[in-house]
Amino acid sequence: MAPPSECQRWGGGYRSHILRILLLSSVLSAGHAYYQRPSERCVIPQTLQGEWYSKERGDDTYTTIDNNRMSNRGDCLHLVNRNNDNFTIIFDYSACYYCVRIFVRTLNVLEKIETGCVNLNEGEVPDIKTVCRSLDVNQERITLFSTNPTAKNCRSSLEGVWKFAYRNTYKFTGECKHPDANITACQMPGTQFFVVNQQFTINYKQCEGMQETEEGEVQYKCLGDWYIGKDHYFAVMNTRESRIDAKYRCFLANRDDDIYLGVSIEPECSSLKTPQESPERYRLEQVKTEIVQPSCTLPDNFTGTWLNTANFDALVVINKTHIVETWKPDTGRIREQIYVCVEARENRYLMARHGIHGCQRDFVCFNFVPRHHSVIRYRKGKEMITDVFSTVCSWTMFPDKQQWRYDILISREPVSIKCPVAGKFRFDQTGDIPFETRIRGGVTQIPRPNVYCKENISDFSVCDKDQKIIFIDANYCISVDYFGRPVDIYSEPDYELKCIAFWKENLRSYLITYNEEDAYSKYRCWVYQRADLNRVLMSQSVGAFCHVLQDVTSNNYTEGAEVALDMVEYEREHDDCPMYFDDGSNPYQQIAEQAAILMGSATGLTCHLSFVHLVLLACLRFLL
């Protein structure tokens, strides 16, 4: 065989050499791509970018964050986003790795926790698991304030006018209270100068004998607010302060306690734990800034104390010219609203409303239905800044929902009336909270004898002399003896309800009852209807509020009801409990006018005799 030529020898070596070079270049390019990929994918969100100021270890610190870099921390390698307000970022800075967790509080305020310089072991890859394993989540958070902030409306942070007493544990002992010291944080609806609604002022007054107390006015610009549990934080910037460390401050309030307000004395929020234990603490007393003189009067029979079922069962006190409404919301302390009568036309009343927090007044229109029984029905229009009656009390200012009904005020001292449904009924019940057998008062007065009963039913009875009280017994014995009299004369009803009002609205008949033993709500709203000659349907509400969707078949919370009754009239020989029904079409009709009207034709004329006339005739007959 001939020896290989020189070209063949070099050709084989050349091919192997080329393969080695290609393999090495592919490995290098893959490795380069691996380390470049996090950098390419790590884009810092716009909300974190900008220049920020913070106080770190006693030094004024400025931090600049751009698209993929953070000053003093290096380049972004990896980012994890949780809910767009919690970012964990890995930075690479001169062979050091940093794990920084940033919490977005507002557009102008950030908080962060971070590790120091982290050196990885050989072979470890910089990621969240390796770099952030030493991150202490319980460390004190550093607050970062934007050096070029966007002002926010102050309404969600602080709104109202208060007098205040304050203390500063780092300047003086005790509490400084001056009658002229005040906080004013009021909105001006419709103003063209939006900056007015983005700031508030605090007027300090020096207390006698306390030299370290302050004197002067401080104007703060609102930077936004946030909640952590029930703690309400908001950040501010002093617009008249040139020193950077004195420009930014944090405030802390609590949802359930609006008497105290905590303030930081450094540009940080982490020093605020509770409003009472803050470095500087304000004790607030709310005041009203404007007084409106009444120029009309409310109906005489409106005077009294009422319960507003449409507003947390608020306490409403009405006199000739004012309506004062007090309620306890789900969050916060007791609130008070004052309405002053300004103008009245027929059943519409233009009222000036003092702001809840004591700021500006506005105007609202009430449309009252004339009072009947122990309720006042009304509609409330939209609040407006103008006091023109034709504008505020226009019918278009009232809610125009497809389904609506009047809200009601119920008297806190109701008077019993004749029930619109009377008689003796057996009923079947369905619902989330049915009537149950119980002992009213907890124990019986004397031991009850054991009575053999052949039949038990659920009983609904209105059989008292005036037919003003509803008795409900979930398990009632209807057995009688050989004389036709009830054998169970010792048991007592499970529920005792007093009728206090009824009316008809939207083709539905409503009844309000009062039960002083009801632990959840003493007042209940019923919807009732006569389904047949001796059959009545009724539905009881969950609380005092009459839901617009509640009807006679409603039996669950989605329609504002808890139980529905299907009642059939029954009356035994000795019950003496006649059936009676009034659909509430005319709730203003007197009971005497509801008595039987006799139709006579002895003289060919029709004679209508009222109950009073019958009594007079009976008396004359007796005398003769």
- Find tokens 């390698």 and name the residue: 77
Say what the pLDDT of residue 619 is: 53
Q: What burial class does residue 386 get, using C-beta atoms within 10 Å of its C-beta: 0-12 exposed, 13-18 middle, 19+ buried?
A: exposed
Its pTM stands at: 0.71
Q: What is the mean pLDDT of each run of 10 residues along the chain (624 residues)?
A: 45 51 45 39 90 94 94 92 93 90 96 93 87 92 95 86 91 91 81 71 92 91 93 94 94 88 94 92 85 93 95 94 91 83 96 79 94 96 92 92 92 96 96 92 74 90 94 92 83 94 96 95 97 96 94 95 97 90 93 50 40 52 51
Q: b/e map of 195-231 (b: 16 or more CB within 10 Å)?
A: eebbbbebbbeebeebeebbeeebebbbbbbbeeeeb
DSSP characters for 283-323?
EEEE---------S---GGG-EEEEETTTTTEEEEE-SSEE
CB atoms within 10 A of CB 265: 16
CA angle 334, 338, 339 (to 5 degrees): 150
CB atoms within 10 A of CB 407: 16
Residue 297's identity, in one-letter code, is T
Contact 515, 542 (CB under 8 A): no
Say what the pLDDT of residue 8 is: 46
Please give the Cα distance from 367 to 204 (Å, whole number): 44
Say what the pLDDT of residue 442 is: 77
- Please choose, from the candidates 39, 115, 46, the residue with its C-alpha nearest in 3D space to the C-alpha of residue 77: 39
Every domain of the chain and the residues it spans: 1-35, 46-142, 160-286, 300-405, 421-442+452-581, 590-624
Please give the Cα distance from 134 to 120 (Å, whole number): 12
